[in-house]
Structure 1
Amino acid sequence: MALTGCGLGTGGGFAPSGTLSGPLAKVKPLDGATIAVGSKNFTEQLILGKMAVILLKSAGANVKDFTDIPGSSSARQAQLQGQVQMEWEYTGTAWIAYMGHSKPIDNSTKQWEAVRDQDLKQNKLVWLKPSPENNTYSFAVKKSVGLKYHLKSLADIKKVPVAQRTFCVESEFANRSDGFQPMLKAYGLQLGTSIPRKNVKTLDTGAIYAATNNGLCTFGEIFTTDGRIKALHLTVLQDPKHFFPLYNVAPVLTEKAFKKYPQLEDLFEPVAQKIDNAVMIDLNAQVDVDGKEPVSVADKWLHKEGFIK
């Protein structure tokens, strides 16, 4: 799917629906509503986006599926322009990348409240309560490499000889204000000196995990809820300086849609509260490791948790 000058293409594919049940059984129907759902184009976002599509269809809405938008910036613009009414977004991404703040707030509730208040005031976007899941950035190393150099945190990068300080990063992270070079600086390192530029490879997000496991690079940029961490037994390095923001994911709605259909809060918040890191790692692994489709993984989990039947 591509974002074009004429608007968004559809995410494509069939998304099932069911009957709302359990904590969603009494949600007021959305009969007659037309709601467009967007998502970014990585696994976790596709799973969450398909959850939203399934829930909305099950509530009776006519759903436009615009999941799989390439990149955070394009997905954000689609919602700001009103092309989509619902997306799942991360508090840290909004605070740093969209709102331009340089320092994250090291408390998940306070970080969400700050994002919620600013986005409503400036952009008329409504942030529902976030999930416990915190899909932040870090770097991971192969288990044997971690043992060899006694690597436990990002502060230990300096323990590795310069020639072996090799990194695999994806292009968006390399250019983010909460990304690669600012992270190096926070830990007393600098690209071009303590980290030679030739030691940094830019890869697609999905390729980094295997590249790290196969020794193409010592340090691989990862999302902390990615299922491949568990499957490949990678060691995730801790962030003792709390450089990386908290990235709790939350349902985000346009104010116009929220005011017209306030029951959207009742539809999404119980689901969001069930999504923690362990749940998301498992769901991501079903796609990235087991090869299942995001929509089937989303549908099965919603049934398993009793949200639909």
Structure 2
Amino acid sequence: MKRTLSATALGIAATLALAACGGGSSNPLSSGSGSASSVPSGTAKAGTIHVGAANFPESELIAQIYAAALNAKGLKATTGDPIGAREVYLKALQQGSIDLVPEYAYSLLTFYNTSATQTATSEVLAALKMKLPSGEIVLNPAAAEDSNSVTVTKETADKWGLKTIADLAKHSSEVTFAAPPEFQKREQGLIGLKKKYNLVPKSFRGLQGTAIAQALKNGQAQAANIFTTDPSIKADGFVTLQDPKHVFGSDNVVPLISKSKASAQVQSVINAVQAKLTTANLAAMDKEVQVDHKDASTVAKQFVSDNGLG
């Protein structure tokens, strides 16, 4: 809520105890706030780019990649603790305590415009640019895409014959839904699922990070909001339901940056990173961080080195 947007740390905050749009699924669209739920104080130092992140592992990882690439080119960049939900880190960007943050295109668009109908990447980006605050811009979208999803176990899919979210909606009275708390109030969440599929679960479990996938695996929930790059989908054999009515749109990774720090050199470095980020290599790095428990900054630096970004 990925990014509900979500969507969101707690994968790490609650597991690293924080990740998209991930591990255990916060939401690129959202992202509950791991340990930090208030806007960071202070202003980023002049001449330094402070890269912020939502409180889920994938957002932290991408933030580390941006910082590593900037530092490799002689531009001073710093990172800090994950910040929290979209409402919180966007406020931090507006107030100047961070300068740059990884975002997810469709999730960010629907945050600013809950009635947005665009779903294709180019349309989403064009609409998003029209909605951004005047002091911010988005740079090039990556091919990497991490969307919110409605995911179930293979056992549940087989039992109820599930292929689409509409199929699941027929069993609403039997469904406990696990997701970050903010998923309840997102268009890319229960609001949109009710509008487009009449999916109204009997109960909701507000969880964070890996606890979401664990609830699904343990039968404490019959459906969950899990990022499409989350390693648990493959590892646990989960089934991501099709979304023909597009509650969840094109959530390509996009850098959101303050215009005051978006020099031509900074844009060139970050856009070069974007050109190398694919869904496949992002998912592979998510696994390294969330499953193999490698340090995110180490994985990020390796990505920068391997892709000639240094």
TM-score (norm 1): 0.82
Percent identical among aligned pairs is: 27
**In 2 relative to 1, CA 140–186 (structure 1 residues): closer, same or farther, beyond 3 Å?**
same
- Which residue of 2 is the match for residue 185 of structure 1? 195
One-letter amino acid of the counterpart of residue 289, structure 2: V
1:1-309 alignment, distance < 5 Å: 2=36, 7=41, 33-97=47-111, 99-119=112-132, 122-160=133-171, 162-163=173-174, 165-189=175-199, 191=200, 195-196=201-202, 199-258=203-262, 261-308=263-310
- For structure 2, the 5+ residue unaligned runs are 1-34
More helix by share: 1
* Shift, 1:276, TM fit: 2.1
* Shift, 1:4, TM fit: 5.2
One-letter amino acid of the counterpart of residue 264, structure 2: P
1:140 partner SS: strand
* Shift, 1:169, TM fit: 1.7
1:102 partner SS: coil
Q: Distance in 1 between matches of 2:275 and 2:305?
A: 16
Q: Distance in 2 between matches of 1:85 and 1:102?
A: 28
Report if aligned partners of 1:138, 1:236 keep a CA contact under 8 Å in 2. yes
Report if aligned partners of 1:2, 1:8 keep a CA contact under 8 Å in 2. no
* Shift, 1:77, TM fit: 0.8
CA RMSD of aligned residues (A): 2.2
- For structure 1, the 5+ residue unaligned runs are 11-31
**In 2 relative to 1, CA 6–144 (structure 1 residues): closer, same or farther, beyond 3 Å?**
closer
> Looking at CA atoms only, which structure, 1 or 2, has the larger radius of gyration?
1
Q: Distance in 2 between matches of 1:161 and 1:74?
A: 32
Q: Distance in 1 between matches of 2:104 and 2:172?
A: 35
Q: Distance in 1 between matches of 2:207 and 2:137?
A: 34
Q: Distance in 2 between matches of 1:206 and 1:240?
A: 27
* Shift, 1:67, TM fit: 4.7
* Shift, 1:304, TM fit: 2.1
Q: Distance in 2 between matches of 1:2 and 1:220?
A: 24
TM-score (norm 2): 0.82
